[in-house]
Amino acid sequence: MHHVVLSGVGHYLPTRVVTNRDLEAVLDTTDDWIASHTGIRERRFVTDDVHMSDMATVAARQALLHAEVEPADVDLVICASSTPDYLMPATAAMVAHRVGAVRAAAFDMEAACSGYAYALVVASQFIRSGMYRRVLVIGGDLLSRFLNWKDRATAILFGDGCGAAVLEQGTEPGIVAARLGADGSGAEHIVIPLGSRVPPVGDPSRHEVRMKGREVYRWAVGLVPRLVQETCADAGWSVADVDHLVLHQANLRILEAVAERLSVPMDKLVLNIDRMANTSAGTIAVALAEAAGQGRFAAGDKLLLAGFGSGLTWAGVGLRWTITRPLPQHDARWSEPAQP
């Protein structure tokens, strides 16, 4: 079995910032309610001309440069998103083409807010087994196109964003623990009703996000501390050993409750929910890249990633940080289309 290291990260943040005050104009809500119930102060929405593959291409180009991996050397591209460009083809194939990953296999994965952590685990299995050496993993969502602006309890929660990572065969351990789970009995808790059950005919608003917020909240606060503890145990770590907790950013109150139950100080949590809101499969991916860009992680640091959300699904990853290179600055040309 081969070691799997994370060798590069990247992200795409939409340019349009929408504050809670902006939402006061379109919803019966207040900045104070949103901030006190969720920790969110603003979110970013893409403009109409930006789609999932555009966000993913920028994030992927940054991650490849950070990893110093040539696109042609990528063996596989996995894109985790609930809001791909199309139901088919896979967004991953479009991104592989645009970044020049000409040899790569490509597929999309749907595990909602757990998608990025799930995809890291899936990717790592290909490398561990020796089938592939380099996998590009993308996690992101563009939920602004699926929000119900008549439902104030869900519309305020979500933003758009995307991150990416390169996983490679390494000489030292990187991903040291992985745990996946699902419980379809909660399938109706968070839904975007578009698919064979709800084909796209008639009123487009019937395809908007629906969520039973209270149920999800209670479920998450019960599940996530266990997931963190069990993933740490798999890694041979105690929870106190962990240097950085990178949890899905669904609601600051959930994160505070998890930290309290685990007796972890809040400054060990990587947070961006105040600026980004819940970007679903993007939260952990973006948080990793932002923190890497700020120089927050040192080689050898122990990171515990935990995703949870619709499905219901969950995924925990124990990761030793091994990157010492600085994150390359964004370049406007990264969003340009592929060369013919």
Which residues are designated catalytic? Answer: 113, 248, 278
> Considering the rule CB under 6 A, would residue 309 count as an interface residue with ligand UT7?
yes
CA distance 320 to 304: 9
Site for ligand UT7 in 214-243 (CB under 6 A): 214, 216-217, 220
Site for ligand UT7 in 132-161 (CB under 6 A): 152-153, 156-157
User: What residue has token string 């890249």?
Assistant: 289
Bridge-based pairing of strands 175-182 and 313-320 is antiparallel
CA distance 339 to 116: 28
Q: Which helix (H) or strand (E) holds 107?
A: strand 105-109
> Considering the rule CB under 6 A, would residue 278 count as an interface residue with ligand UT7?
yes
CA distance 228 to 234: 10
Q: How many Cα atoms occupy the beta-carbon half-sphere of 212 within 13 Å?
A: 11
Tell the smallest beta-carbon distance from residue 155 to ligand UT7 (Å).
7
Q: Which of 2, 16, 37, 261 binds ligand UT7 (CB under 6 A)?
A: 37
User: What residue is closest to ligand UT7 based on CB?
Assistant: 213
Which C-beta is closer to ligand UT7: that of 134 or that of 248?
248
Query: Binding pattern to ligand UT7, positions 248-277, x when CB under 6 A?
Result: --xx--x-----------------------
Tell the smallest beta-carbon distance from residue 283 to ligand UT7 (Å).
8
Tell the smallest beta-carbon distance from residue 313 to ligand UT7 (Å).
10
CB 116 within 8 A of CB 284: yes
CA distance 277 to 101: 31
> Considering the rule CB under 6 A, would residue 29 count as an interface residue with ligand UT7?
yes
Tell the smallest beta-carbon distance from residue 27 to ligand UT7 (Å).
6
Tell the smallest beta-carbon distance from residue 256 to ligand UT7 (Å).
12
Alpha helices in the chain (DSSP H): 20-24, 31-38, 52-67, 91-99, 115-128, 152-155, 213-235, 252-262, 273-276, 283-293
Q: Which residues bind to ligand UT7, rule: CB under 6 A?
A: 29, 33-34, 37-38, 113, 152-153, 156-157, 190, 213-214, 216-217, 220, 250-251, 254, 278, 280, 309
